[in-house]
Structure 1
Amino acid sequence: MKSDHLLMNDELIACTDVLENLATAVLVLDTQCRVCYINTATEIMFEISQRQAEHIPFQMLLPGELRLQKSIQRVLSSGQALIEREITLFLPASGEIVVDCAIKLMDLGESYLLIELSQLDYQQRVNRDENLQTQQQVVRGLAHEIKNPLGGLRGAAQLLERQLDSDDLKEYTRIIISEADRLQNLMTRMLGPYQQSDKTAVNIHEILQRVRQLVDIEVDERLQFIVDYDPSIPDLHADFDQLIQIFLNIVRNAVQAMHGIGIIRLRTRIQRNLTIDKSFYKLGVLAEVEDNGPGIPKHLQDSLFYPLVTGRADGTGLGLYLVQNLVQRNDGTVICSSHPGQTVFSVTFPLESS
């Protein structure tokens, strides 16, 4: 049996400590494909603890997954390591994910299988967030450039109106003034709130309950809220009012998508070993808003948080753009997964400094 410690700078470090801090999901199976060990990233991915997973057959974690089962059998029979790219897995707890998978046979006195699962949508999310931040900077610059001449246009229309005697002609200047005001308001919303974030200790459940109360006033008994909170979650450091606005926008979007009829689930969980905007955090809080509405059209899902993107005829396409903006101001990240019958917005905030 090889040493279960590493020698670094004259200090012994347990190999399990290294594994527990990896972002990659690691599993060790015996030759009967029973689970011997999983690290923290695997516990998060499958929503199962090491104690619960130990000794259970691997196929119980992924019922019906044939491609990965065949790959494991190939490694067991040939002894050759194998890498599978872009495998779509269905996790009973959280739905579909896409992973790269490395499988290797280890000889530690006895034979064991080492399986590494690297989730691909994380990198896709990082790339999307970077693209979105670049676009936000361009949009804010453009909005500033548009606001300045709009003020002059409105002022000129007002001066012209004073010189006109005909009510018919004044109607045209009123239209100019009205449209200039509408565009000014649109540009202001695109620029987002001007105030800096006022961060204090915030209870995520107080936020969600306040949002629920606000929306309850606007709907009737055909809309039902179901809550699933983790009461052990500590306070996070964030702006109370901005978090209210974040979840109010998301919940109202769900209500509008379902035309006020359906179920909205509010869920919270602790997250471990997460990366947000290239910063690593040991602990975070995940708050999810799930609805059973028709889902978001496939062609809109990749650009959902971009400005002026909307699936509604009467929408401005700024609600989720502002959600993304406010989430980033509070050091968080937001993602969405959607298909007919289930749409989930997942917002994650760190629980400590990076």
Structure 2
Amino acid sequence: MYSLLIDHLSTAIVQLNDRLEIEYLNPAAEMLLAVSRRRVQGHNIGVAFREDDASINALYASIESGYPFTKREAEIECSNNKKLFCDYTVTPVMGTSNDTESLIIELYPRDRMKRISQEDEIIANHESSKELVRGLAHEIKNPLGGIRGAAQLISRAFTDEALNDYTQVIIEESDRLRDLVDRLLGPRQLPKNKPLNIHKVIERVRQLISVETDHKIEFIRDYDPSIPDLIGDESQLIQALLNITRNAMQALMEDTNNHQKTIHMATRALRQFTIGSKRHRLVCKISIIDNGPGIPDALLKTLFYPMVSGRADGTGLGLSIAQSVVHQHHGIIECNSYPNKTEFNLLIPIETIIQD
């Protein structure tokens, strides 16, 4: 009866003996850790999931002392090399001689909550920066129009060509600042939405980058052909993907120690997927992964802010504009970066939004 109850729990349960060998996994644990009970039973815990040495020592200490403990925000690595963020509680089970016979580990995955929290933060930061830029644009463009108009009037009053050169500089620089403000604001037109094949968009971007780099970067394509057409603005999505892929290209080309430069372009269909606080029946996930040096940790949190760039000659507008475009399509861009792997994921809903 007890075994039947544990098998029907949604909480992942792992039972270990005093040598940290697996005695039992319930179905929830099999699903979470992506392992079969029969394959791992009798083997060391490391065949199901791995953590650092300090955590293994804590398990042995719990066996010795008989005291339970809980660990928060643990990062464990499964047998398929997938990493999971979870909380877990370890409870020693005492035998008849008051010695610990086994450990019960209850695993509570935190990945979904962590991702939703991160997405909410990205969306909130994007909205805040957009409002800030709108206010700044208003304050800049009003006097800028007056400066440009005054320079034009002065140039008409001068007959000296040398003086006209100075007023022309004022006019040109005013136009340059106006264009910069317009770029900060992102796309000025509403998306011209129509059904489109996302793989056609990705292939267009791949061709442009290949020509730009003279085919010095290897592209690995991993597309899901089952993804249906989504509703979007083709030119805007090309621009968003081009901005992200060009950043990857520039990082790779500047990395002189990397002699096998690759960009991995993949698509997947995600079902019943939550973006922020909204759940969607079907979401298109577009991944752009490069094997470059990675993005510094200090830059990751402000990566999508306007005018933030990790390159000396960068404008800091490419990723901000890309996020604005995807946001107009009710989606979001996420980024994870480590040495030799930087991954941008564009998540764009395909079907109608379901409110949670």
- TM-score, with length taken from structure 1: 0.79
Distance 2:188 2:92 in 1: 57
Any residues of structure 2 matched to 1:206-217 within 5 Å, and which? 206-217=200-211
CA-CA distance at 1:251 after TM superposition: 0.6
Aligned to 2:320: 321
- C-alpha distance in 2 between matches for 1:181 and 1:53: 68
1:27 aligns with 2:12: yes
CA contact (8 A) 2:269 2:283 kept: yes
Give how far 1:62 is off. Answer: 3.1
Over the residues paired in the alignment, what is the CA RMSD in angstroms? Answer: 3.4
Unaligned runs of 5+ in 2: 94-101
Tell me the equivalent position of 1:114. Answer: 106
* Cα drift, residue 173 of structure 1: 1.1
SS of 1:307's equivalent in the other structure is coil
In structure 2, the partner of 1:86 is 73
Equivalent pair of 2:210/2:216 in contact (CA under 8 Å)? no
1:207-253 CA distances to partner (integer Å, 9 max, x unpaired)?
21121122222221311111122333333333333222221111111
Letter in 2 for 1:319: G
**SS at 1:217's partner residue?**
helix
Q: Is 1:281–1:350's contact at 8 Å kept on the other side of the alignment?
A: yes
Task: Tell me the equivalent position of 2:148.
Answer: 154
Partner of 2:242: 248
2:89 maps to what in 1? 103
Cα gap change, 1:143/1:68 in structure 2, threshold over 3 Å: closer, same or farther? same
Shift of 1:111: 9.1
Corresponding residue number in structure 2 for 1:184:
178
Q: Distance in 2 between matches of 1:340 and 1:91?
A: 21
CA contact 1:75–1:103 (8 Å) conserved in 2: no
The residue that corresponds to 1:271 in the other structure is: 270
Structure-2 separation of matches of 1:69 and 1:272: 36
1:158–1:96 Cα change, 3 Å: farther
| 1:62 maps to 2:49 | yes
1:88–1:39 CA distance, 2 compared to 1 (3 A): closer
Aligned to 2:99: none
- What amino acid does structure 2 have at the position aligned with 1:157? A
Amino acid at match of 1:224: E
Shift of 1:70: 4.8
1:37 aligns with 2:27: yes
Q: Is the 8 A contact 1:158 1:173 kept in 2?
A: yes
My pick for the range that moved more, 164-173 or 230-239, is 230-239
The amino acid across from 1:28 in the alignment is I
- TM-aligned CA distance change 1:333 to 1:235, over 3 Å: same
Distance 1:111 1:293 in 2: 42
Q: How far did residue 105 of structure 1 move?
A: 5.6
1:27 maps to a residue whose letter is A
Q: Secondary structure at the match of 1:141?
A: helix
Q: Normalising by structure 2, report the TM-score.
A: 0.79
Q: State which of 208, 219, 238 in structure 1 corresponds to 2:213.
A: 219
How many residues end up aligned between the 2 structures?
329
- In structure 2, distance between residues paired with 1:76 and 1:236: 54
Residue matched to 1:197:
191
Amino acid at match of 1:184: R
Residues 91 and 295 from structure 1, CA distance in 2 versus in 1: closer, same or farther, beyond 3 angstroms? farther
Identical positions, percent: 36
